[in-house]
């Protein structure tokens, strides 16, 4: 991947459907998420279509699914399928995997295999959907393996559109998404690169505190249109966290076109814009030049 030729690197996109039509979420949860984001009825793109979308825009994208089978009973899209699809577009797509920490030793072995044999460059966790506190010790063997592998771990933080509006939130508990729980993980795994996904409503200040205090904690800006970013997030992105904030869209629920149109109007310093859009992610992910 030649990062010099890229306009931006989107660190947060979803593989929503497998090649045989298997969805990443149950129909109930997918419908709630689409309604929350105002994307009801959107067509779920295949990974090949996702690649075409980003190639047309001269961007790269991190792609992942979410493995939350223990809590939801819904089988995930296979990580191997995601990685193999991404391998067809090495100039555009960057594969992440998702492993349910409730899988225990099996998840640890899978993490090592996915990096060694399938070129996976990071791991996605969704504590709300997976039903665990990020600092639960049962997940620590998996974090230890990821730290040893030298790849980042991306954690959903803040409110989620998944289950929004469904009675009881479809059983999804928001408390698991407080970024302060990841402060423990950053302490206990000091070399692990941690990405706090999304503006962390209603815990934005907690996310900023953790990211400024812990040198290997980053924030991605996905899941929100930039015009709704809280002012303190913009202020920190322009200053103390200018090397630790990353462009992410949440595609296909939010498109990069919509996100970037809003970002163009945001009060971000000219010298900081390229850091957020590309340079910070390239450094974190170890992406090189031509």
Mean pLDDT of 11-33: 77
Residue 34: which pLDDT band, with cuts at 50, 70 and 90?
low
How many Å apart are CA 238 and CA 245, to the nearest integer?
A: 9
The percent of residues above 70 in pLDDT, for the chain, comes to 92
User: Could you tell me the domains of the chain?
Assistant: 3-285 (3.20.20.140)
Query: Does residue 99 register a pLDDT over 50?
Result: yes
Per-residue pLDDT tens over the stretch 161-196:
888 888 998 899 999 999 999 999 999 999 999 999
Per-residue pLDDT tens over the stretch 38-82:
655 566 899 999 999 999 999 999 999 999 999 999 899 999 999
Contact between 244 and 5 under an 8 Å Cβ cutoff? The reply is: no
How many Å apart are CA 249 and CA 61, to the nearest integer?
A: 10
**Other CB atoms within 10 A of residue 78 CB:** 16
- Mean residue pLDDT of the chain comes to 93
With H, G, I as helix, E, B as strand and everything else as coil, classify residue 23.
Answer: strand
Question: 163: exposed, middle or buried (C-beta count within 10 Å: 0-12, 13-18, 19+)?
Answer: buried
How many Å apart are CA 121 and CA 195, to the nearest integer?
A: 13
Q: Check residue 248 and give its pLDDT.
A: 98
Per-residue pLDDT tens over the stretch 233-277:
999 999 999 999 999 999 999 999 999 999 999 999 999 999 999
């Amino acid at each position: 991947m030649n990062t010099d030729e890229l306009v931006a690197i989107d660190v947060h996109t979803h593989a929503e459907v497998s090649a045989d039509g298997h969805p990443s979420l149950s129909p109930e949860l997918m419908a709630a998420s689409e309604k929350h984001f105002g994307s009801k009825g959107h067509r779920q793109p295949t990974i090949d279509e996702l690649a075409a979308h980003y190639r047309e825009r001269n961007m790269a994208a991190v792609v992942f699914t979410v493995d939350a089978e223990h809590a939801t009973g819904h089988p995930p899209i296979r990580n191997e399928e995601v990685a193999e699809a991404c391998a067809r577009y090495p100039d555009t797509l960057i594969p992440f995997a998702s492993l349910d920490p409730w899988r225990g030793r099996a998840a640890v072995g899978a993490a090592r295999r996915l990096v060694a044999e399938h070129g996976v460059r990071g791991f996605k966790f969704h504590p709300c959907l997976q039903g665990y506190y990020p600092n639960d010790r049962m997940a620590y063997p998996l974090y230890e393996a990821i730290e040893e592998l030298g790849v980042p771990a991306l954690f959903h933080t803040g409110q989620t559109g998944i289950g929004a509006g469904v009675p009881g939130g479809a059983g999804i508990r928001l408390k698991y998404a407080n970024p302060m729980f990841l402060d423990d993980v950053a302490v206990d795994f000091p070399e692990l690169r941690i990405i706090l996904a999304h503006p962390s409503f209603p815990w934005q200040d907690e996310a900023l505190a953790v990211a400024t205090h812990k040198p290997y904690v980053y924030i991605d800006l996905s899941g929100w249109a930039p015009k709704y970013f809280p002012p303190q997030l913009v202020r920190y992105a322009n200053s103390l966290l200018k090397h630790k904030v990353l462009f992410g869209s949440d595609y296909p629920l939010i498109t990069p076109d919509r996100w970037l149109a809003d970002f163009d109007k945001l009060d971000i310093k000219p010298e900081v814009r390229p850091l957020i859009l590309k340079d910070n992610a390239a450094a974190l992910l170890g992406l090189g030049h031509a």
